[in-house]
Structure 1
Amino acid sequence: SFDNLFATYEPAAGQSVANLLSRGIVNKDGGPGPRFAEAAQRQATVRDRYSVTPPTGAAFTVLPQPSTNYAKDVPHYALDTRFPADLPNGPFRITRYAPYTAAVGDPVHRFFQMWQQIDGGKKDLFTWVGLTSGEGSRKRDDPLSSTNQGGIAMGFYSMSHGDAPYFRELAQNFAIADNYHQSVMGGTGANFVALSTGYAAVYLSGAKPAVPPSSQIENPDPRVGTDNWYTHSGYRSGSYVACADAMQPGVKTIRDYLATLPYKVFKDGNCAPGSYYLVNNYDTGYGFDGTPKELGSAKFVVPPQVAPNIGTALEKANVSWKWYSGGRIGGAINKDLYCSICDPLTHSTAVMTTLLRRNLQGVDALFRDLDDEQTLPAVSFVIPPNPESGHPAYSTVAALERFVMQLVTKAKANPAIWSKTAILVTTDEGGGYYDSGYVQILDFFGDGTRVPLIAISPFAKRGYVDHTYYDHASLLKFIEHNWRLTVLSEESRDNLPNPEMTAADPYVPANRPAVGDLLNLFRF
């Protein structure tokens, strides 16, 4: 999340930033600040039916000790003894206890869980949801087992202590946004689909909406006799939801919440009757040769998708583009390096059954293309190899910094390329980490928490902190503005207007729902 990385960032004179330090939640030393209690995590109760705003009770006395879950280089699924068992109830500096280059546990970050974590804007259930929803347990069918989460979601890195030095340098010399958000509540797969289509993937059969196997439909209602242990969820389980049907588990509470908002959400929630939408992570829909993968109750893959996407839109406009993914090696993959759920155009029939699939290449190809402006496409999407992705547990922020530094250094080394380039660095989602920022609910799917965005370019405003409201649709709007493209579809969020931001509340658009186009980060 933004606070996980920029918690103690101090901008240049004349600029302001909304983070844990500026809000007084933490001090510059990373310890509790005068308004620390504003981030206190509370306990709640859900016994009969899933709720996005469950009845809350007492605050935790101390944070539960963080767990390692599957973090590299430490014992798996155990209490992380690097951290004390009596952390104060609120955000804590990770590097007070663990080296900056060390991996830590992976907080839960899935769709229905994040809706609960945000708790109607109070953001006080990150820890409780991690402990109770069942995600992270090695015995998913045993509600008495541990979720291996603890209080890890409340951890942050501290630039005032030297953490993330390269990202701090980039923020000082270029521009950042402190109001940029993941598009979908939850995790990686759905957010990459949103990044490429402005919408969500749908379960299809013969290119038409269909009902997925029951084993693949989400049910966040608590199991009988439990407090919030989801009935049907998990990476090899539920990921689809028919969000136009209030009778479906988990749907009514979200739609009821949308109805309480002081503005009308996009397209009444943006859910078509009879459609089951992917809200979590499933594997690629096609093989690399363009052959669709087999579907079935135990086949956790995305059916071939027919929705317009940014690749096909660029192609239609004769704008060159590529999607570079770490771990792609020619027509094969290195499974340790490749993130299949980060490669959303592999779901697209229009890409995978045509020569457009040649545009899906490896990161090695990117660094070759950067040698010559004639080979580098106009628009590039770049996904680091897994070990350099910054993802909790199997990567680190330090590793992501090294990758970004390598990319920026390579681009700047070629003046012909650098003189007309904008590099936009962000993350697909916040990793399940706590964030103190405002979240604008646009439709049934999100937005979710803030995530970092750094604009690196000779045109970026130096040291600028942009408060305009953005999410991943803003990247689409930026591309569409620059290359004069139309919106992707009737359902895509690039239809939303640019925000009208006011001094009275510089983070909340006056014309909600609205998302910006990133142009305020630059002087073109």
Structure 2
Amino acid sequence: MPAAAAVGDAGAGSSGNGHPSTIPGGFKHLVVIYEENHSFDNLYGGWGSVNGQAVNGSQSVAQVAQNGTTYDCLPQVDVNLASPPLSASCTDTTHNIVSHFANHTFTIDDYIAPTDTTCPPAVQGTPFKPNGWLNGTGASGGCTRDLVHRFYQEQYQIDGGKMDRYTTGSDAVGLTQGQYDTARLPIYQYLHSDGAPNYVLADDFFQGAFGGSFLNHQWLIAARTPLDTTATVNNSIVDANGMPNTYPQYTPTGTVKDTQWTMACPGGGNDYAAACGNFAVNTIQPASPPHASGAQLPLIDDTKYPNIGDRMTAAGISWNWYSGGWDDAVAGHPGVNFQYHHQPFNYFAAYAPGQPGRAHLQDETKFIAAANDGTLPTVSFVKPYGDENEHPGYASEPDGSDHLVDLLKTITDGPDGKDTLVVVTYDEFGGQSDHVAPPVVDKWGPGTRIPALLVSKKFEGSGVDHTSYDTTSIVATIEKAFHLAPLGTRDAKVNPLFSGIRIGLDG
């Protein structure tokens, strides 16, 4: 290991307030790039090995119907995967399915190429097509339809660790078993090209909470689920199987209701440990602008429920949240695919317009300028704009991966490149299946395994890290690096990313 600072040490120096001045390992900058909606198997399942070290890659798990019987064929509703236009080569009379796909994983690229015109045009007024755009009618990029990724549905899909109900618990049914050809992804090709920085692939990294983007962005910065302080909310209602909705392969066993909030507690009130009451778990809008129409979460009181930004500011640690399209959205003319619920600090009172914390919310263009100028803050969170974040349904996976490569090149080729550790991960699974059962920690998660990489020009070699992590490992790394108090119970106990850093530095 280089002598600058051992992993876990305070670093090469300390700031005037007694906090370390470097990230463990001697890094002066940490950049977290937060991509969208892919499970590990879906995106990195075909990574193979790294310097002879095996990656826990994709394995097919036979999907079962609501009654527990195994499908023979995978039903499909994506307009480019249904039969027609594909041949109906698989017939499942027991479950009344005629499909092109047998009950196992398949490669999406074999049916939807990166150049296919299956993406929705990024134009205001474009109609919503839930099952996607038929090739030849949309924009280029090889998009699939979107897949449901919500709090209760994911728990049903995981099925106590059996990982066999993704198809039944999804509006996109068999698309849950689709996977990309990892070796064809721009990020894979870049990291295996001459002159690329070394990397560490973390193959046991899970999304922090069950469900979708809104909640996992909250867990990224606050390691907890926010409480809605509104007097009354429209609580979810689940059936005997824990499901709140109807899907092509799922019929509820009783009354259901699928809302932004957890189900009511049997005795009323709010019980965080039991995950019941007025907790916001599915997409809800921030009270501060910019926001879309719809239900809003009241401003979160930072004095009661702080986030990692509050902790860093109090400690004198420089940081920013950089979001693609932020300046346009604040100015009142957001891009078609700007996602308001991907801006987690905007839900907190300390970051409302006019508050000092607002200065930490900046446009991605300012991050690129700082990386080029050598003026990166100690900690940067980077959230790409919708068209470039890899989200199924409205974004192209290969185009998003191209943008990710551009960001990595900007960072590693910049003046701060040698002193910067980059963490690349995804907010959640996006409804895609994975074969690795997540650890059972609490009622909130962790959820499905997701891709995660550590990248640095300072790394001496590439490797694989089999340490168990979840999204809160990122804030735990910051907390332990700078001796900050944990935000909650999960980040207090989860593994920080120190093992992965050590692997990269040792080479």
For the superposition of Structure 1 and Structure 2, which TM-score range results when normalised by the shorter chain? 0.7 to 0.9
Which residue pairs with 2:179 in the alignment? 156
Which residue pairs with 2:385 in the alignment? 385
Distance 2:426 2:306 in 1: 23
TM-score normalized by structure 1?
A: 0.73
Which residue pairs with 1:138 in the alignment? none
Distance 1:311 1:363 in 2: 17
Which residue pairs with 1:312 in the alignment? 310
Tell me by how many angstroms 1:41 deviates.
0.5
Which residue pairs with 1:400 in the alignment? 400
Identify if the C-alpha distance between structure 1 residues 165 and 373 changes in structure 2 by more than 3 Å, giving closer, same or farther: closer
1:127 and 2:167 correspond: yes
CA contact (8 A) 2:226 2:279 kept: yes
Deviation by residue 1:333-392 (Cα, 9 ceiling, x = unmatched): 524142111101111012225121121111111112223233x21111111110111000
CA contact (8 A) 2:439 2:446 kept: yes
Which residue pairs with 2:469 in the alignment? 470
SS of 2:201's equivalent in the other structure is strand
Identify if the C-alpha distance between structure 1 residues 492 and 224 changes in structure 2 by more than 3 Å, giving closer, same or farther: closer
Which residue pairs with 1:228 in the alignment? 252
Tell me by how many angstroms 1:271 deviates.
4.6
Which residue pairs with 1:105 in the alignment? 145
Which residue pairs with 2:260 in the alignment? 239
1:520 and 2:479 correspond: no
Give 1:198's match in structure 2, choosing from 209, 223, 226.
223
1:81 and 2:80 correspond: no
Amino acid at match of 2:150: R
Which residue pairs with 1:448 in the alignment? 447
CA contact (8 A) 1:217 1:232 kept: no
Tell me by how many angstroms 1:442 deviates.
1.3
Tell me by how many angstroms 1:19 deviates.
1.4
SS of 1:480's equivalent in the other structure is helix
CA contact (8 A) 2:244 2:257 kept: no
Amino acid at match of 1:520: S
Identify if the C-alpha distance between structure 1 residues 16 and 150 changes in structure 2 by more than 3 Å, giving closer, same or farther: same
Tell me by how many angstroms 1:82 deviates.
5.4
SS of 1:270's equivalent in the other structure is coil
CA contact (8 A) 2:163 2:435 kept: yes
Distance 1:285 1:230 in 2: 34
Amino acid at match of 1:270: A
Which residue pairs with 2:358 in the alignment? 357
Which residue pairs with 1:6 in the alignment? 44
Identify if the C-alpha distance between structure 1 residues 83 and 329 changes in structure 2 by more than 3 Å, giving closer, same or farther: farther
Q: How does 1:31-110 map to 2 (within 5 A)?
A: 36=60, 39-45=61-67, 56=68, 58-68=69-79, 81=85, 85-100=99-114, 101-110=141-150
Identify if the C-alpha distance between structure 1 residues 108 and 337 changes in structure 2 by more than 3 Å, giving closer, same or farther: closer
Distance 1:399 1:223 in 2: 34
Which residue pairs with 1:412 in the alignment? 412
Aligned residues: 412
Tell me by how many angstroms 1:492 deviates.
4.3
Tell me by how many angstroms 1:277 deviates.
1.0
CA contact (8 A) 1:223 1:230 kept: no
Distance 1:154 1:381 in 2: 30
Which residue pairs with 2:123 in the alignment? none
CA contact (8 A) 1:466 1:521 kept: yes
Distance 2:392 2:287 in 1: 26
Which residue pairs with 1:257 in the alignment? none
Distance 1:386 1:157 in 2: 20
Which residue pairs with 1:16 in the alignment? 54
SS of 2:297's equivalent in the other structure is coil
Distance 2:409 2:438 in 1: 34
Tell me by how many angstroms 1:487 deviates.
1.0
SS of 1:380's equivalent in the other structure is strand
RMSD between aligned alpha carbons? 2.8
Displaced runs of 4+ in structure 1, greater than 3 A?
A: 78-84, 222-226, 229-234
Which residue pairs with 2:156 in the alignment? 116
Give 2:288's match in structure 1, choosing from 268, 279, 286.
286
Distance 2:56 2:107 in 1: 18
SS of 2:320's equivalent in the other structure is strand
Amino acid at match of 1:487: P
Distance 2:473 2:86 in 1: 39
Give 2:235's match in structure 1, choosing from 206, 214, 217.
217
Distance 2:244 2:484 in 1: 48
Identify if the C-alpha distance between structure 1 residues 423 and 166 changes in structure 2 by more than 3 Å, giving closer, same or farther: same
Distance 1:158 1:246 in 2: 46
Q: How does 1:473-484 map to 2 (within 5 A)?
A: 473-484=472-483
Distance 2:210 2:201 in 1: 22
Tell me by how many angstroms 1:171 deviates.
7.2
Unaligned runs of 5+ in 1: 26-35, 46-55, 69-73, 131-146, 252-267, 497-514
Deviation by residue 1:240-261 (Cα, 9 ceiling, x = unmatched): 1257x2468xx9xxxxxxxxxx
